[in-house]
Amino acid sequence: MDARLRRVNKEIADCKNDKTSKITLELVDESPFHLKGAFPGPEGTPYEGGHFEVDIRIPDSYPFQPLKMKFITKVYHPNISSASGAICLDILKDAWSPVLTLKSTLISLQSLLCSPEPNDPQDAEVAKHYMTSRSSFEETARYWTHIYAGGPEAKAAGKARDTPVGAVRDEIAIAGLEKAHVDQFEALGFERTKVIDVLRRLNYRGANVAKITEDRVVEELLKS
Amino acid sequence: MQPTMDRREREGLPQAPRLVSGDLPPEEPIPSYTGPSFVTDDPELSRLTPAELYELNQGMLNDAVPDRPLIDQLKHIAVLRSEYEHGTPAFLQQIDYLRSQGYNGIRRTRGDGDCFYRSLAFAFVERLMNSEEEELEFSVMSAISTLESVLPMLEAAGFQKLVYEDFYETFVSIIKQIVEPDRLDHSNLTPALLLEAFQSPEVSNSVVVFLRLLTSAQIRTDPDSYADFLFNPELGEPMAPREFCESFVEAVGKEADHVQMTALSRALNVNFSVAYLDGRSKDGTVDFVQFDSGNDYGSEPMVLLYRPGHYDILERRSQEPLE
């Protein structure tokens, strides 16, 4: 049996026998080198209560080359692409060591959720949001955990209460924006999706709102 | 621990073999060279002129071409000398000095950051293989028992058995093959089989990783001896043992410096020396830095050749022995 397969089999068995870490692994197809890992969102973070799935590919020269991992579950986090699930983490790149395993790497991803590194972002827009307004960022991350990772419903945000629950409200919350801001520019005659897109790109949140003039937003809206 | 030749104490920087100025491409936009840079990130080298850097880079690139085997056949040291013929005379003098000391051969390794570990592992097995006939069995058995005895240290350092056992088995089976035929080859280890094993990425890298784990475990389980010498080689800041080991010992492709070499010498219970071919000697001699564990019964010392950023093996023979 080849060395890679021998090692992977041992790692899968090790993970199965470990009841404390709550890390799970399963095969995706016939190949033992394409797996799906999963772990619960860490407590005390906006990811708490969510179930996060990760696509894992084991390269030919494993364990001498890093595992290839990306999130299947959508995650709102500075070091994870909100679009593709790609992960920015040193051990998945040049800091890889053959000491690391499927389990310990998934545990590192779990720790990454606890401690974002906004200075080395994978998703620049999310990182800006994180830097500008932590509370707004966390609210959005929690909302994503709720809708994509099966996490608990976010504590009702009072301001959104009187609007009917539906796709419209979702879109604004997913983008991490304030409904009042979106309404304001929508009222000028721009399409809602366009407004959301522009405000998200401009990071129209927290203290930034005062720094970005209405003209600047309109200018961007006209360009888009 | 005696840091005889700590990187930070070595004054200044290694000098690249210099091109005759007429050889330089005249209009080459050298400062904007943006290809892979192996050396320009090193603050120590920031004082080199762009031309020197360019040249050094080219040299490093040639070293890193994937076509170079992980470890090569033994070559006559004249081959190395010919590469420096257009360089500084200092390098040539030093190569001639090595020859005068009886070092006629060089065995190169790929410049992939694993070169120290790979060189040492190869030299270790080769030396065992070359033990005197009557001592062969004893040398092999003591090497294996040394390796067995370090397993508890790996456990103590926190490594999982499933992580290190395959690497351990690979290394031990090569050594065992010196005295008993292997299941696959149906033959004892020969110089050709040894070279073949170390050229196969799976085997070669397993051995490299095993030595990295030994080095790491030695530091992790005896942090007091090493703590004062653990610095981030990129930033120069002190580092905690665990952090240092994770980032600069266990990680693939991270070069070894004096601390790692000292730790491995102790963990493996071997003595070796490193010849510093750096073009900096005033009298054309070469400094040999000794790494002595004090308990090495092997007769012939292992000698590695260091050139800035790279390790190869230095040998007295100038070509592979006949089978």
Do residues A91 and A108 lie in contact, with contact meaning Cβ atoms separated by under 8 Å?
Answer: yes
Q: How far apart are CA A127 and CA A124, in angstroms?
A: 5
- pLDDT tens digit sequence for B120-158: 999 999 999 999 889 999 999 999 999 999 999 999 999
Q: For residue B4, what are the CA distances in angstroms to A4, B42, B262, B284?
A: 41, 22, 11, 20
On chain A, the residues whose CB falls within 8 A of the CB of B205 are 61, 64
Together in a domain, A206 and A138 = yes
Name the pLDDT band for B113 (thresholds 50, 70, 90): very high
Together in a domain, A67 and A164 = no
What's the number of CA atoms in the CB half-sphere (13 Å) around residue B131?
20
Domain membership flag for residue B52: yes
Judge whether residue B88 has pLDDT over 70.
yes
Nearest-Cα residue of chain B relative to residue A101: B163
Question: Which residue segment(s) compose the domain that B309 sits in?
Answer: 7-315
Together in a domain, A60 and A128 = no
Selecting from A6, A14, A97 the residue whose C-beta is nearest the C-beta of B251 gives: A97
pLDDT at position B52 is 59
Selecting from A3, A95, A101 the residue whose C-beta is nearest the C-beta of B202 gives: A3
Whichever domain contains A15, its CATH number is 3.10.110.10
Cβ–Cβ of B213/A61 closer than 8 Å?
no
ipTM value: 0.83
Judge whether residue A117 has pLDDT over 80.
yes
Cβ–Cβ of B253/A14 closer than 8 Å?
no
pLDDT at position B6 is 40
Question: Which residue segment(s) compose the domain that A74 sits in?
Answer: 3-114
Name the pLDDT band for B192 (thresholds 50, 70, 90): very high
Together in a domain, A27 and A103 = yes
Token duo for residue A219 = 């200018």
pLDDT at position B319 is 84
Token duo for residue A166 = 């539906």
Instruction: Kindly name the residue from A88, A102, A106, A109 that is annotated as catalytic.
Output: A88
The mean pLDDT value for A207-220 works out to 93
Domain endpoint, select from A81, A114, A147? A114
**Residues in Cβ contact with A97 at an 8 Å cutoff, skipping those fewer than 6 apart:** A91, B212, B246, B250, B251, B252
Name the pLDDT band for A224 (thresholds 50, 70, 90): confident
Domains identified in chain B, total number: 1
Domain endpoint, select from A114, A140, A161? A114
Selecting from A6, A7, A99 the residue whose C-beta is nearest the C-beta of B250 gives: A99
Q: How far apart are CA B283 and CA B84, in angstroms?
A: 18
Cβ–Cβ of A97/B252 closer than 8 Å?
yes
The mean pLDDT value for B195-214 works out to 96
Judge whether residue B98 has pLDDT over 60.
yes
Together in a domain, A134 and A31 = no
Residue A99 Cα, gap to closest chain B Cα (Å):
6
pLDDT at position A157 is 46
pLDDT at position A153 is 77
Q: How far apart are CA B265 and CA B295, in angstroms?
A: 10
The mean pLDDT value for A144-150 works out to 93
Query: For this structure, is A88 an active site residue?
Result: yes
* β-bridge mates for residue A57, sequence order: A34, A68
**Residues in Cβ contact with B267 at an 8 Å cutoff, skipping those fewer than 6 apart:** B150, B153, B214, B215, B217, B218
Name the pLDDT band for A3 (thresholds 50, 70, 90): confident
Judge whether residue A152 has pLDDT over 50.
yes
pLDDT at position A159 is 41
Which residues in chain B belong to E strands, given as ranges?
71-76, 105-109, 272-276, 287-291, 302-307, 310-315
Cβ–Cβ of A99/B247 closer than 8 Å?
no
Domain membership flag for residue A119: no
pLDDT at position B86 is 85
Selecting from A7, A61, A99 the residue whose C-beta is nearest the C-beta of B213 gives: A99
Domain membership flag for residue B2: no
Together in a domain, A128 and A188 = yes
Domain membership flag for residue B256: yes
pLDDT at position B286 is 95
Q: For residue B260, what are the CA distances in angstroms to B116, B244, B257?
A: 10, 10, 6
Together in a domain, A7 and A109 = yes
- pLDDT tens digit sequence for B267-323: 998 999 999 998 888 899 999 999 988 666 656 789 999 998 899 999 999 888 765
Cβ–Cβ of A97/B162 closer than 8 Å?
no
Together in a domain, A207 and A128 = yes
pLDDT at position B31 is 37
**Residues in Cβ contact with B121 at an 8 Å cutoff, skipping those fewer than 6 apart:** B171, B198, B207, B208, B211
The mean pLDDT value for A72-85 works out to 97
> In a mutagenesis test of the B interface, which of A64, A89, A102 is the best target, namely the one with the most B β-carbons within 10 Å?
A64
Average pLDDT, chain A: 91
Whichever domain contains B153, its CATH number is 1.20.1300.20
Do residues A171 and A194 lie in contact, with contact meaning Cβ atoms separated by under 8 Å?
Answer: no
Do residues B146 and B269 lie in contact, with contact meaning Cβ atoms separated by under 8 Å?
Answer: yes
Cβ–Cβ of B205/A64 closer than 8 Å?
yes
- In this prediction the pTM is 0.82
Cβ–Cβ of B209/A98 closer than 8 Å?
yes
pLDDT at position A168 is 47
Name the pLDDT band for A104 (thresholds 50, 70, 90): very high
Cβ–Cβ of A14/B162 closer than 8 Å?
yes
**Higher per-residue pLDDT: B145 or A151:** B145
Residue A197 Cα, gap to closest chain B Cα (Å):
35
Lowest-pLDDT range, A44-58, A149-163, B204-218? Answer: A149-163
Domain membership flag for residue B321: no
Together in a domain, A65 and A135 = no
Selecting from B166, B167, B247 the residue whose C-beta is nearest the C-beta of A95 gives: B247
Helix (H, G, I), strand (E, B) or coil at A219: helix
Together in a domain, A53 and A110 = yes
Judge whether residue A1 has pLDDT over 60.
no
Burial class of A203 by CB neighbour count within 10 A (0 to 12, 13 to 18, 19+)? buried
Domains identified in chain A, total number: 2
Domain membership flag for residue B323: no
The mean pLDDT value for A62-74 works out to 97
Domain membership flag for residue B11: yes
Residue A224 CB neighbour total at 10 angstroms: 12
Judge whether residue B97 has pLDDT over 90.
yes
Together in a domain, A23 and A99 = yes
Kindly list the residues of chain B whose beta carbon comes within 8 Å of any beta carbon in chain A: 159-160, 162-163, 166-167, 170, 201-202, 205-206, 209, 212-213, 246-247, 250-253
Cβ–Cβ of B162/A94 closer than 8 Å?
no
Lowest-pLDDT range, A180-184, B82-86, B319-323? Answer: B319-323
Domain membership flag for residue B80: yes
**Residues in Cβ contact with A23 at an 8 Å cutoff, skipping those fewer than 6 apart:** A15, A37, A38, A39, A103, A106, A107, A110
User: Nearest to residue B304, comparing CAs of B60, B37, B5, B67?
Assistant: B5
Do residues A81 and A122 lie in contact, with contact meaning Cβ atoms separated by under 8 Å?
Answer: yes
pLDDT at position B100 is 96
Do residues B275 and B286 lie in contact, with contact meaning Cβ atoms separated by under 8 Å?
Answer: yes
Together in a domain, A96 and A32 = yes
On chain B, the residues whose CB falls within 8 A of the CB of A101 are 160, 162-163
DSSP code at position B278: -
Question: How many Cβ contacts (< 8 angstroms) between chains A and B?
Answer: 45
Q: How far apart are CA B234 and CA B131, in angstroms?
A: 40
Nearest-Cα residue of chain B relative to residue A7: B162
